Chain A
Amino acid sequence: MLTSLYVEGDTFLHRQRPGAKLALILVVGLALYVTESLTVQAVAAVIAAAIYFSLPIPFREAIYRLKPVLFTIAVLGLINIWLLSPHEALVSTLRLLAVVFLAAAVTATTRIADFMETITWALQPAEKLGIVRAADVGLALGLVLRFLPDIFAHYEGLKHAHAARGIAFRPLRALGPLIILTLKDADAIADAIDARGIRGR
């Protein structure tokens, strides 16, 4: 069972500052979007995958964490092949893979509290301009990372419930109950945040 997106460790990435890691994603992401070179995209995807799979995460869990995103990228790739040229489809697929592997590596090596503090700090100028409440954005990001494993757990629970009743499991059929369970969780979590007086201080 996936219990947390953060993985304990002392890798090179673990030792880097959260702000530097987020900046790396931003820079790499932008750089990959300004080039159409298949070679560059392929090299970037391979390096990002190597970084991700070198982390102290068992291979099966490493794949499990990214399964929904990889599935989505595969679907997008197929649509792109249909709509664009094979070269363009391959470039966009490799680009997405590179960014996803890099983002997953950063997520696995950064504590949620550090993420939240960095985002809140980075958004201070925007708060001063009255555009956002920096702490709220930090909290929102933290909540997504903290409770994502709970959504995975609900998904597994629905799979087991189907199996227990001898019904073939179809992910699409589980989507409705999964959304309802997630929304109910969101309500309870929002209540808890209000009760603890965490927002609006």
Chain B
Amino acid sequence: MPLEIALDAEEQRRLRAARLERVGRWVLPVAIMCLAVFLWDRVVVWNEIPHYILPRPIDVVRAFVEDWQLLLSSLLVTLKITGLGLVCAVVGGVGLAVLFAQSKWVEMSFFPFAVILQVTPIVAIFPLINIYVDNLTAKLLLCAWIVAFFPILSNTTLGLNSVDKNLRDLFKLNGATRWQELWHLRLPAAMPYFLGGLKIAGGLALIGAVVAEFVAGSGGQSSGLASRIIEAGYRLRTARLFAALILISLTGIAIFMLLSWLSHVILRRWHESAVKQES
């Protein structure tokens, strides 16, 4: 056991601080969260706020239990749009980035279009999409895609262009074809950049899907979580509204954690960002 070594006071202090930090990293946020929920409950009770203005936490839990079938099916609808949107964003973003990487001229010519698509708020574009696209799923998907593809495109383009110059010379010296250079050098080198973009895009795809549902769902056509929120708002089913909202947040967190895990697994052996910090 390495801890059997006699440590001086300073090292002991450092060890204690490190141990405390490890525990605190988990305990503190959980404790603060519990405290916040408790205060929320107390505020409602003490001020006798009616449940349709602000439900008690227990009412929200009850809404989860009573409406779970409805919420779950809505969640699945939203998840489907988010997932498909993200897949399309990956295919489109990486595909365009590879195309851009083939020639500086292509990149210079078409990158501004990608920027325009990115900076124009999706809510403002939606009425146009509504006119041109009939199918509801296609509409929502298009929105999620527009919002999510840019970070992937931009990051992957950066990655494909950030290859070590000497490595490119090495490939040239060995007579590598353009395709070999892309496959064996530029794509692997772009991987950390792509994964960084993917993490951002995952959250954005969810936002895109929910926003699109909001705009499209005002007519009650959609059946995702956003329309549950609108509907619950109209009917003052505030507890259900909270439940749907919490589900969206949890989904976003789950997507982020999943993509972070994926990124870690892919990069853990070689990239500094994923290498475990040694004490």
| A and B co-occur in one complex | no
Task: Give residues in B with beta carbon < 8 Å to A.
Answer: none
